[in-house]
Structure 1
Amino acid sequence: MANSPGFLAHHDGDVVAVAVRDLEPGPAEGGYLRGPDSVTVQLNEAVPLGHKLALTDLAEGADVIEYGQRVGTASKQISKGDYVHVHNVRSARWQNSVA
């Protein structure tokens, strides 16, 4: 990457990455801590610093993988390049809790 990455993913196979600065819609280049050197994603919407973006399309109910681990479930269809947050993901942490 010629410039510093706009986002980082932890493992090859992660379906989300974290913005390392505020990102605007359009092409964004990022990298992996463990995996391919770089990847470019067409962002569909702005992604704030520290928030997640989708690296692949996810169907409603699909596992959200980050750090090589299941961290949540898509609560609705998520397209590659979408902002991923509480409006479209349910945390795996609370899914097995008794209400």
Structure 2
Amino acid sequence: MTNEGPTFLAHKSGDAVAVAVRDVEPGNAVVGYLDGTPSVEVEVRAEIPLGHKVAMVDTSSGSDVIEYGVRTAIATADITKGDYVHTHNVRSARWQTSVA
């Protein structure tokens, strides 16, 4: 890990995504947690712009995406850890009912 700080920030341990704090190229990146969970590394699989998200876990299409410790989105495609997470593979969970 480098001394320049994390490349991504996640809010809570268990979040499925983390937010880029700068433009990110594919390769190893550090994820810091705002809740004090120790930093981890993730292998970024695509370019991710500042403010956009990286997958911290594999998520199947139709599954909930957790951020801030709550369900914020639903995967519309299978997502692999390290993938770019955006409108091409998730939709907002706002106003949606849970899938049983």
Q: TM-score, normalised by structure 2?
A: 0.91
Matches within 5 A, 1:1-99: 2-96=3-97
Question: Over aligned residues, Cα RMSD in angstroms?
Answer: 1.2
Deviation at 1:23, TM superposition (A): 0.4
Deviation at 1:94, TM superposition (A): 4.1
Higher strand share: 1
% of aligned pairs identical?
A: 60
For this pair of structures, how many residues does the alignment match? 96
Moved over 4 A (4+): none
> Unaligned regions of 5+ residues in structure 1, if any?
none
Higher helix share: 1
> Unaligned regions of 5+ residues in structure 2, if any?
none
SS at match of 2:77: coil
Deviation at 1:25, TM superposition (A): 0.3
C-alpha distance in structure 2 between counterparts of 1:66 and 1:44, whole Å: 20
Deviation at 1:34, TM superposition (A): 0.8
